Every structure is written in C-alpha cells, then in structure tokens.
Structure 1
Amino acid sequence: MKPLDLNLLVTLDVLIQEGSVVGAARRLNLSTPAMSRSLARIREAVGDPVLVRSGRGLAPTPRALALREQVRNVVEQAQAVLGAFGQDVNLATLERIFTLRANDVFVGGFGGRLREHLRRYAPRTTLRFVSEGEHDSGALDDDADLYIGSVQKFGADIKVQTLFTTNFHGLARSGHAIFHGAVTPRRFAAYEHIGVSRRGRSHGPIDEALAEQGLSRHVALITPTFYAAIFALADSDLILPAMPGHLLPGVKRLGLDLRAFDVPIDMPAVTVVQAWPPRLDSDPAHRWLRQTIKQVCSDASEAADAAL
C-alpha cells in the first residue's frame, strides 16, 4: 500500500480556501512551481481536477466542495494533536473571559450547554456573549474571541469553521386556525405574521418567496429577537413563520402552548459558523474552546433532529 502524505491534506485545505496556486504557495511558504506539483499529486490521489480555471482564479469542483469540510476537520484535528505537545493548558486553573459575538438564536440554543461544559472542565472561566452589532462585516473588528453566526464575507485571513446547519419551521399557538387544514402557501400568507429583525425590517426572503406565487403577507408585529416573538405567540393569533429548528426543543421546555409546522414555501437552510482572527489560531485555550463549541453544537443538533 502506498504511504499517505498527510501534507497533501494541508495543501488541499489551503488551495480550496485561497482558490489560487499563487496565494496557496504564499501562505505555505512554497514556490509556485512546487505548489503546482502538489496540486498535480492531489488530483492524482483524489481522481478529480479539484480546482479548475474560473475567470482569473481557480474554482473548486463539486468533489472538492464535498471534501472541504472533511479535510478541514482532519487538518484541525492534526493541528490540535501536534499543538498539544509543550502547549498544554491547565483547564482546572485557567482564569479567562471568553467573549463570543453571537445572537440570541445561538445563545438560546447552546449557551446553557456550553457554560455547563465549561463549568465541568474549566470552572474558573467566564463566558461572555455580546450582540452581533449593527454591521455583520465588523463582527471581528474588536476584541471578541469568536464570531458565531451565519456565513459572512470574512477577510482572507479570518479562520472559519462550520458548526451546524439549521432549517426553519413555523410556530403558532396550538389552537390556531392554521392547524385546521393543510398549511398551504395561501393559508400561510392569510394570517398575520411576526417578523424578527434586530434592525426592525419587515420585508425579507419570505416575502420574495410568496411573491413568486402571487401572494403577500401582513407583518403585524416586529421584534428584535426570536424569544420576544415566542412569548407574543401564546396570547395571539399571530404566527412566527421562520423559527430555527434547533431552538424548538428549548421552546418545548418553556411550557408554552405552542406548536410547530412545516413552512409551505422554499426556505433555504442556514449554515452557522464560528470565525476567529489569526492571532488566536494557535492559542491552546482558544483552540480548546473552539473544539468544545463544535462538540456541543454537534450533540445539541443531533438531539434537536431527534425531537422533530
């Protein structure tokens, strides 16, 4: 059996991120010809072009996109193993405030579980959540350790890891008339909606999807957070049209008389990531936090899927 060259995984990871042989060579301190030879070896090993010419750069093939997350995880695990030598952190005595920039959707779905994990393994640490702010593009333009939220256009130097993907469901009080028949697009649009927007917007992807079917809706109430919207549902005939699925188990624990339903229009799933600046990439405590968040999100997402 031909021995594996794990350096090719690191090279493939950087090539997919950069979309450029020159850019990947620069990041790995290699010459452009050396990087081209590595790409040729990767193509032979994978049995796929991996990257193909697109405009002035290179674009990943469907096969490369399918491998991207798996390759990233393997590289991160290898880096964690190698980085642990001589860089162990004593979690039991670690005193540190971790600042996470995230919205209430993440805090409500995972904040409690995450803090419980830190209490068990790093009891002297503090977990501090701050809001996303007015402009997503500035999510890491401060002293936050991590940005957690939907995929944004980060700078080329920002490290990004996928945490989970969530789908959307409708939510209304159990006795709502929407449950008296099939939830069609027309019936879905007929009832007054709650909009959730920290900027107070009333128009969004739902309206565009309805407009494609010649329908429109009335957004009668706009709240800045999903949790404010949830408590407004129990005493009204409003419906919440797009509740993140991973929050539904938490809604059930609140004991409110609410019921979920499938949204009858196309609602693309949202991918949630964690992103951090390069200055923290090799920090052992920060690395441990990232790995912990990844595991907590994976466990909680599996539980949410089982509950639906």
Structure 2
Amino acid sequence: MRVFFTGGSGKAGRHVIPYLIDQGHDVLNVDLTPLDHPGVNNLIADVTDSGAVFGAMTSHLNIDDVRGATGPAHFDAVVHFAAVPRIQIKPDNETFRINTISTYNVIETAVKLGIKKIIFASSETTYGVCFAQGVRKPEYIPVDEAHPTLPEDSYAMSKVVNELTGQSFQKRSGLDIYALRINNVIEPHEYETLFPDFMKNPEQRRVNFFSYIDARDLGQIVDLCMKKDGLGYQVFNASNDTHSVNETTADLIAQYYADVPKKADMGTHETFFSNKKIRDVLGFKENHDWRKYLKA
C-alpha cells in the first residue's frame, strides 16, 4: 500500500514505519522533523494546519514518484500518530488543541479524498488511570475496550475526543476507521535500560496497568489493521501478551487489585491491558516478549 503516516519520527513511529517498509509498503512520513531511515519518504508539515494536511495528502511520495506519475497522487491508507505525546510538555490547552485539531484535519481530509483505511493513535490514558491525581484503579480487570473512558487530564481528554471524531466520520462515510489505544511503548534498547528497574520496583508500572507494547509489535498491529477490511469503526487495545514485571499476575492482583472485580480468569503472566481483541479479530501474535531480551 501507499501509506500516509503522520508523526513517524516519534518514539513509536520510528519503529512502526520500518516495519511497514519491510512488509513492502511505500510510506510518506509527514512530521515536523524527518525520519532518517532507508526507504522512508519525508515531508515537513504542520498537521494542525488544514491546508497543509490537504497539500501533504495530495502530494507524491518523492521526486521519482512525481516523474513517474500519470495523474494525481493517491494514498491507500492513512496512519495518524502525530501528537503531543503526554501532559507536562506543553500547557494543557495547547496539548488538547494540537491533538484534537490535528486528528480532525487528518481524518476529514482522508475521508473527503476517499481513502478507505484510516488508523489513528488513541491511548491507554483514556481509561483514566495513567495521569490521574492520586491512585485510581480500573473498574475491572483485565481492562478491555468496553471499559469506561474516564479521563481527567488534557492528553487523555484529547484522545477521547479523537475517538468520537473518528466514529463520527466513519458514520458519515462508511469507511474503515480504527483507533488504537496504545499501551506504554517500549523501544528495543529500553529492555536493557528500563526493565531491570521495573523488576526492582514494580509499583512504578501500576499507572500503565503493569503492561507494555513493543514498538515493533505495534508495527505489526498497524499492518494488520491496514490489511483487515470491512470492520467500520473499531477501537483496539494495543499491548503485548504479558505484563512488564517479573511477578505473577496472581501476585500483582493480591498486591494492587484485590478489591477490583475480575472479569475473566487470567494466565500466569497475562497482561491487565487486554489484547484479546487484536488477537481474535486481527490475528496478532507478539514477536517481542521482554523475556526474550532479559533473563527473568
């Protein structure tokens, strides 16, 4: 496919795009800074500017693509990852503005251009636990896509609004628009730099449901979404199969979730951020369990 990808220079995108290229897709990365990776086409644009989004989404991949064209440029899929990635980077109103208006611009342009597959990054934070003041527990475990979204911060609120934006445009257009509630993204080098401390102090992982998504496995999820047609509007949790600490699920429940209703029986190291839907609907099979890189 020809893929229009926003925010590909960020923490997740710089691993997702190489995965998509390895699958044979042609990718245009639209970001404020280019991604230096073989085979990536870059275009500098501010996606909070509606005109810039339209200009970028009707652009060709590169100069050779222009020279070989016989008509207007066209993309087969849009993947929208560009965003302020969390609170406390910009003022709250700016975080909310940038994340909501950029998502509106990207989805609106894609729908009006008739691009049939739109995938955008939502977040684990929509469930209200990650950036809550004080300790907030989920309403039940494991947390699946039916769990209420209860944000109290500007970043999570922007992601909930973006999901409604996607749902509204899908209702109007009938196209496939999929939202990925992405769990804490882990890059390959972070198994060595971060995970030893996760083992010593698992409490720090509570705000992420003790879970994670390997950036390369996230690439697989995006690719599977691109290849799965006809689902209309969908929300998918994006996480690996197991949690990110070296305790059993039962031990973590006893320590942190003893008073939280359990919706289903859980495996020995099963993630609390349920990925059952991506396994059942998309056929996701993780390739990067952290235990492959560290001795438990």
Q: TM-score, normalised by structure 1?
A: 0.28
Q: Which has the higher contact order (CA 8 A, sep 6+)?
A: 1
More strand by share: 1
Q: Greater CA radius of gyration, 1 or 2?
A: 1
TM-score normalised according to structure 2 size: 0.29
Name the one with the larger helix percent. Answer: 1
